[in-house]
Amino acid sequence: MQFTLIDIWHHTGLFARCIIFTLAIMSVASLVVMAERMIVFRKTRADSRNFAAKMGAILAKGDLSTAANTNLGKDVGHLGRVINSGLTAYRISPNNKEVAVESVARALERQAQREVQSMKRGLGLLATVGSTAPFVGLLGTTMGIVNAFQLMAAAGSGGLGTISAGIAEALITTAFGLLVAIPAVMAYNFLQGWVDARAVDISESSNEFLDVVARHLSGGAHSSHAA
């Protein structure tokens, strides 16, 4: 037997092949999640930056009435959706300053939680693949080694040469498990770090917007807006 991937594949048993197919499915699923999340994150970051540039110029003047009635379209990114929820709450809030500020704060917090949860979509699958793929491969290795020793016992002869082919077939599943797990773990850590950073951005932007609302209401401008 030549110890090449093709030759080892031809000599693998049904159980080992099932393990390899399972790992292949896990690998494809994790790659799909990686690609989809990267595309989504890139788009929402660009949209958020565009929204911040346009809405920031309006909010810098403290003109919440204009900001609340400004429609920048649907592609506003995670930051735009959070701030828009605050603007909506401000538009329908009563004239009482404390009630209005609290209403806006709750709206910002609710939407922020939705956005963070939305950005985490699929990361659980990456974590699952990263943590379980080595064990799936190890299961194939364990059963493969058991089969190798059973063949040695049935043949009635010992020695490393007798079971070397079986051990090679068994260890290949562990190698596949590690090849699947390592990229999944790296991608999960990277994407989770990105989500955590965006959560901080959302929190800072929400607090800044809430300060603008509080200053605006303190100036008595909300009554004219509500009218």
Q: Is the pLDDT of residue 152 over 50?
A: yes
Q: What value does the mean pLDDT take over residues 189-204?
A: 94
Mean pLDDT (the chain, rounded): 84
Residue of 102, 62, 110, 78 whose CA lies nearest to 205: 78
pTM: predicted TM-score of the whole model, two decimal places: 0.81
- The answer to whether 118 and 81 have CB atoms below 8 angstroms apart is no
CA 102 to chain centre: 31
Q: Is the pLDDT of residue 27 over 90?
A: yes
- Write down the pLDDT at residue 160: 61
| 224 burial via Cβ count (<10 Å: 0-12, 13-18, 19+) | exposed
Q: What percent of the chain has pLDDT over 70?
A: 85
What are the pLDDT digits (tens) for 10-19?
666 788 888 8
CA atoms of 82 and 100, how far apart (whole Å): 17
Q: Is the pLDDT of residue 220 over 60?
A: no
- Write down the pLDDT at residue 135: 94
Residue in the structure block whose two tokens are 């990105």 = 194
- Write down the pLDDT at residue 159: 58
CA angle, 216 as apex, 213 and 221 as ends, to 5°? 130
Which residue range forms the structural domain that includes residue 77?
A: 5-226
CA atoms of 152 and 165, how far apart (whole Å): 11
Residue partners of 156: CB distance under 8 A and separation at least 6: none
- Write down the pLDDT at residue 179: 93
CA atoms of 203 and 197, how far apart (whole Å): 10
CA atoms of 166 and 162, how far apart (whole Å): 8
CA 192 to chain centre: 6
Number of domains in the chain: 1
Q: What value does the mean pLDDT take over residues 140-167?
A: 72
- Write down the pLDDT at residue 163: 67
CA atoms of 101 and 117, how far apart (whole Å): 24
